[in-house]
Amino acid sequence: MTSHRSGRVVALIPAAGMGTRLGLPIPKAFVKLGERTLLQRSVSAALSSGVVDQVVVIVPADLAEQITAEYRSRPDVTVTVGGAERSDSVRAGLAAAGTDTELVLVHDAARALTPPALFAAVVAALDAGARAVIPGLPVADTLKRVDHAETVLDTPDRAELRAIGTPQGFDADLLRRAHADGGDATDDAGLVEALGVPVQVVPGDPLAFKITTPFDLRLAQLLLVDSVARVEDS
Protein backbone atom coordinates (compact mmCIF):
# COMPACT_ATOMS: atom_id res chain seq x y z
CA MET A 1 0.00 0.00 0.00
CA THR A 2 1.28 3.45 -0.86
CA SER A 3 1.69 6.42 1.49
CA HIS A 4 -0.13 9.18 -0.44
CA ARG A 5 -3.47 10.72 0.46
CA SER A 6 -5.32 9.36 -2.58
CA GLY A 7 -7.03 6.01 -2.92
CA ARG A 8 -5.86 3.23 -5.16
CA VAL A 9 -3.35 4.30 -7.85
CA VAL A 10 -2.98 2.22 -11.02
CA ALA A 11 -0.24 2.74 -13.62
CA LEU A 12 -1.19 1.73 -17.16
CA ILE A 13 1.90 0.92 -19.25
CA PRO A 14 1.09 0.80 -22.98
CA ALA A 15 3.60 -1.58 -24.59
CA ALA A 16 1.59 -2.81 -27.58
CA GLY A 17 3.21 -0.63 -30.25
CA MET A 18 5.32 -2.11 -33.05
CA GLY A 19 8.21 0.34 -32.83
CA THR A 20 8.24 0.96 -36.57
CA ARG A 21 10.55 3.96 -36.25
CA LEU A 22 13.06 1.92 -34.23
CA GLY A 23 13.10 -0.60 -37.05
CA LEU A 24 13.95 -3.78 -35.10
CA PRO A 25 12.28 -7.15 -35.74
CA ILE A 26 10.53 -7.28 -32.34
CA PRO A 27 8.03 -4.83 -30.80
CA LYS A 28 9.92 -1.96 -29.19
CA ALA A 29 8.87 -2.54 -25.56
CA PHE A 30 10.52 -5.99 -25.70
CA VAL A 31 13.88 -4.73 -26.93
CA LYS A 32 16.63 -5.02 -24.32
CA LEU A 33 18.37 -2.01 -22.83
CA GLY A 34 21.28 -3.56 -20.92
CA GLU A 35 20.01 -6.69 -19.17
CA ARG A 36 16.31 -5.75 -19.12
CA THR A 37 13.65 -4.89 -21.67
CA LEU A 38 12.19 -1.39 -21.96
CA LEU A 39 8.94 -2.75 -20.52
CA GLN A 40 10.66 -4.40 -17.54
CA ARG A 41 12.46 -1.13 -16.76
CA SER A 42 9.23 0.88 -16.96
CA VAL A 43 7.33 -1.55 -14.72
CA SER A 44 10.17 -1.42 -12.15
CA ALA A 45 10.22 2.38 -12.19
CA ALA A 46 6.46 2.56 -11.56
CA LEU A 47 6.49 0.00 -8.76
CA SER A 48 9.57 1.40 -7.04
CA SER A 49 8.11 4.93 -7.00
CA GLY A 50 6.19 4.12 -3.81
CA VAL A 51 3.02 5.74 -5.17
CA VAL A 52 1.67 2.98 -7.43
CA ASP A 53 -0.48 0.14 -6.08
CA GLN A 54 -1.02 -1.77 -9.31
CA VAL A 55 0.52 -1.86 -12.79
CA VAL A 56 -1.44 -2.87 -15.89
CA VAL A 57 0.84 -3.70 -18.80
CA ILE A 58 -0.74 -3.58 -22.24
CA VAL A 59 0.96 -5.83 -24.78
CA PRO A 60 0.57 -7.14 -28.35
CA ALA A 61 -1.82 -10.13 -28.57
CA ASP A 62 0.87 -12.58 -29.65
CA LEU A 63 3.01 -11.81 -26.58
CA ALA A 64 0.23 -11.83 -23.99
CA GLU A 65 0.72 -15.44 -22.89
CA GLN A 66 4.48 -15.04 -22.48
CA ILE A 67 4.26 -11.77 -20.53
CA THR A 68 1.42 -13.08 -18.35
CA ALA A 69 3.66 -16.01 -17.42
CA GLU A 70 6.56 -13.65 -16.69
CA TYR A 71 4.51 -11.69 -14.14
CA ARG A 72 2.54 -14.65 -12.73
CA SER A 73 4.24 -14.35 -9.32
CA ARG A 74 3.48 -10.59 -9.13
CA PRO A 75 -0.03 -9.89 -7.79
CA ASP A 76 0.62 -6.17 -8.36
CA VAL A 77 1.04 -6.62 -12.14
CA THR A 78 -1.82 -7.39 -14.55
CA VAL A 79 -1.34 -8.07 -18.26
CA THR A 80 -3.86 -7.23 -20.97
CA VAL A 81 -3.92 -7.01 -24.77
CA GLY A 82 -3.67 -3.65 -26.56
CA GLY A 83 -5.18 -2.30 -29.78
CA ALA A 84 -4.23 -0.78 -33.11
CA GLU A 85 -3.64 2.78 -31.82
CA ARG A 86 -2.07 3.90 -28.55
CA SER A 87 -5.41 5.26 -27.35
CA ASP A 88 -7.03 1.84 -28.03
CA SER A 89 -4.34 0.29 -25.85
CA VAL A 90 -4.95 2.81 -23.07
CA ARG A 91 -8.68 2.03 -23.22
CA ALA A 92 -7.88 -1.70 -22.90
CA GLY A 93 -5.75 -0.88 -19.85
CA LEU A 94 -8.51 1.22 -18.31
CA ALA A 95 -10.93 -1.68 -18.74
CA ALA A 96 -8.49 -3.97 -16.91
CA ALA A 97 -7.97 -1.56 -13.98
CA GLY A 98 -10.30 -2.25 -11.04
CA THR A 99 -13.40 -0.09 -10.62
CA ASP A 100 -12.04 0.93 -7.19
CA THR A 101 -9.17 2.78 -8.93
CA GLU A 102 -9.00 6.43 -7.85
CA LEU A 103 -6.01 7.71 -9.82
CA VAL A 104 -4.61 6.46 -13.11
CA LEU A 105 -1.11 7.11 -14.42
CA VAL A 106 -0.48 6.39 -18.10
CA HIS A 107 3.18 5.77 -18.87
CA ASP A 108 4.82 4.74 -22.17
CA ALA A 109 6.88 1.55 -21.87
CA ALA A 110 9.19 3.31 -24.32
CA ARG A 111 10.26 5.89 -21.68
CA ALA A 112 12.45 3.25 -20.08
CA LEU A 113 14.84 5.52 -18.13
CA THR A 114 12.11 7.50 -16.34
CA PRO A 115 13.15 8.13 -12.73
CA PRO A 116 10.66 6.74 -10.15
CA ALA A 117 10.55 10.22 -8.57
CA LEU A 118 8.66 11.53 -11.61
CA PHE A 119 5.72 9.19 -10.82
CA ALA A 120 5.75 10.54 -7.26
CA ALA A 121 5.80 14.15 -8.48
CA VAL A 122 2.77 13.57 -10.71
CA VAL A 123 0.83 11.89 -7.90
CA ALA A 124 1.81 14.70 -5.50
CA ALA A 125 0.27 17.25 -7.87
CA LEU A 126 -2.91 15.14 -8.09
CA ASP A 127 -2.98 14.88 -4.31
CA ALA A 128 -2.67 18.67 -4.18
CA GLY A 129 -5.96 18.98 -6.06
CA ALA A 130 -5.28 18.83 -9.82
CA ARG A 131 -7.41 16.34 -11.77
CA ALA A 132 -5.02 15.97 -14.71
CA VAL A 133 -1.23 16.31 -14.43
CA ILE A 134 1.40 15.93 -17.14
CA PRO A 135 5.21 16.32 -17.08
CA GLY A 136 6.60 18.93 -19.47
CA LEU A 137 9.97 20.39 -20.40
CA PRO A 138 10.80 23.76 -21.98
CA VAL A 139 11.57 23.56 -25.70
CA ALA A 140 15.20 24.28 -26.63
CA ASP A 141 14.82 24.58 -30.41
CA THR A 142 12.93 27.23 -32.33
CA LEU A 143 9.72 25.62 -33.59
CA LYS A 144 8.02 26.38 -36.91
CA ARG A 145 4.53 25.52 -38.07
CA VAL A 146 4.57 24.40 -41.72
CA ASP A 147 2.04 23.56 -44.43
CA HIS A 148 1.89 20.37 -46.56
CA ALA A 149 4.71 21.70 -48.77
CA GLU A 150 6.97 22.35 -45.77
CA THR A 151 6.61 26.10 -46.22
CA VAL A 152 6.78 27.92 -42.92
CA LEU A 153 3.47 29.34 -41.76
CA ASP A 154 4.64 30.91 -38.52
CA THR A 155 6.95 30.69 -35.52
CA PRO A 156 5.10 30.07 -32.26
CA ASP A 157 6.52 31.71 -29.14
CA ARG A 158 8.46 28.83 -27.59
CA ALA A 159 8.23 30.39 -24.15
CA GLU A 160 4.61 29.22 -24.23
CA LEU A 161 5.44 25.68 -25.37
CA ARG A 162 6.32 22.52 -23.43
CA ALA A 163 7.46 19.10 -24.68
CA ILE A 164 5.12 16.69 -22.95
CA GLY A 165 5.96 13.20 -21.77
CA THR A 166 4.64 10.59 -19.41
CA PRO A 167 3.65 9.49 -16.76
CA GLN A 168 0.42 11.46 -17.21
CA GLY A 169 -1.83 11.29 -14.15
CA PHE A 170 -5.61 11.61 -13.94
CA ASP A 171 -8.55 11.26 -11.69
CA ALA A 172 -9.70 7.79 -12.88
CA ASP A 173 -13.32 8.76 -13.55
CA LEU A 174 -12.17 11.76 -15.59
CA LEU A 175 -9.88 9.61 -17.77
CA ARG A 176 -12.66 7.04 -18.29
CA ARG A 177 -14.96 9.89 -19.39
CA ALA A 178 -12.28 11.29 -21.71
CA HIS A 179 -11.87 7.90 -23.39
CA ALA A 180 -15.58 7.03 -23.38
CA ASP A 181 -16.31 8.16 -26.93
CA GLY A 182 -13.34 6.24 -28.33
CA GLY A 183 -11.50 9.43 -29.32
CA ASP A 184 -7.96 9.45 -30.61
CA ALA A 185 -5.23 11.90 -29.55
CA THR A 186 -1.45 11.73 -29.41
CA ASP A 187 -1.65 11.77 -25.62
CA ASP A 188 -4.30 11.15 -22.97
CA ALA A 189 -4.25 14.74 -21.78
CA GLY A 190 -5.47 15.76 -25.25
CA LEU A 191 -8.74 13.90 -24.64
CA VAL A 192 -9.11 15.50 -21.21
CA GLU A 193 -8.46 18.96 -22.70
CA ALA A 194 -11.30 18.28 -25.16
CA LEU A 195 -13.63 17.98 -22.16
CA GLY A 196 -12.63 21.48 -21.08
CA VAL A 197 -10.95 20.25 -17.88
CA PRO A 198 -7.73 22.10 -16.88
CA VAL A 199 -4.52 20.08 -17.25
CA GLN A 200 -1.60 20.96 -14.96
CA VAL A 201 1.99 20.74 -16.22
CA VAL A 202 4.71 19.81 -13.71
CA PRO A 203 8.46 19.80 -14.41
CA GLY A 204 9.46 16.77 -16.46
CA ASP A 205 12.80 14.96 -16.44
CA PRO A 206 15.05 14.72 -19.52
CA LEU A 207 15.76 11.06 -18.64
CA ALA A 208 12.10 10.29 -19.33
CA PHE A 209 12.62 10.76 -23.08
CA LYS A 210 10.74 8.41 -25.40
CA ILE A 211 12.95 5.85 -27.12
CA THR A 212 11.60 6.21 -30.65
CA THR A 213 14.50 5.98 -33.11
CA PRO A 214 17.80 4.03 -33.27
CA PHE A 215 19.53 7.23 -32.11
CA ASP A 216 17.33 7.31 -28.97
CA LEU A 217 18.14 3.67 -28.17
CA ARG A 218 21.86 4.36 -28.54
CA LEU A 219 21.54 7.41 -26.29
CA ALA A 220 19.70 5.31 -23.68
CA GLN A 221 22.44 2.65 -23.83
CA LEU A 222 25.12 5.30 -23.25
CA LEU A 223 23.17 6.90 -20.39
CA LEU A 224 22.78 3.49 -18.78
CA VAL A 225 26.51 2.76 -19.03
CA ASP A 226 27.20 6.21 -17.59
CA SER A 227 24.85 5.67 -14.61
CA VAL A 228 26.37 2.23 -13.86
CA ALA A 229 29.86 3.78 -14.03
CA ARG A 230 28.83 6.54 -11.62
CA VAL A 231 27.46 4.00 -9.10
CA GLU A 232 30.66 1.95 -9.39
CA ASP A 233 32.78 5.08 -8.94
CA SER A 234 31.00 6.21 -5.77
Ligand X SMILES: C[C@](O)(CO)[C@H](O)COP(=O)(O)O
Ligand Y SMILES: Nc1ccn([C@@H]2O[C@H](COP(=O)(O)OP(=O)(O)OP(=O)(O)O)[C@@H](O)[C@H]2O)c(=O)n1
- Which residues are at the interface with ligand Y (CB under 6 A)? 14-21, 28-29, 58, 82-86, 89, 108-110, 210, 212
C-alpha to C-alpha distance for 17 and 87, rounded to whole angstroms: 11
Find the shortest distance in angstroms from Cβ 15 to ligand Y.
Answer: 5
From residue 54, alpha-carbon distances to 11, 75, 78 in Å are 6, 8, 8
Residue number of the CB atom closest to ligand Y: 17
- Out of ligand Y, ligand X, none, what residue 179 binds, judged by CB under 5 to 8 A for its kind, is none
Footprint on residues 111-170 left by ligand X (CB under 6 A) = 164-166
Cα–Cα distance, 141 to 129 (Å, whole number): 32
Cα 67-68-74 angle, rounded to 5 deg: 105
Query: How many Cα neighbours within 13 Å face the side chain of 48?
Result: 11
Smallest distance, ligand Y to C-beta of residue 17, A: 2
Please select the residue that binds ligand X; options are 131, 162, 176, 210, rule is CB under 6 A.
Answer: 210
Of residues 84 and 152, the one with the C-beta less far from ligand X: 84
Residue pair 94/12 in contact (Cβ under 8 Å)? The answer is yes
Tell me which of 41, 67, 81, 108 binds ligand X, using CB under 6 A: 108
d(CA 41, CA 79): 16
- Is 186 among the residues that bind ligand X (CB under 6 A)? yes
**179 sits near ligand X (criterion: CB under 6 A):** no
Q: Are 31 and 221 in contact (CB under 8 A)?
A: no
The least distance separating ligand Y from the CB of residue 181, rounded to whole angstroms, comes to 18
Say if residues 171 and 208 touch (Cβ distance below 8 Å).
Answer: no
120 vs 209, beta carbon nearer ligand X: 209
Which residues contact ligand X by CB under 6 A?
A: 86, 108, 164-166, 186-187, 210
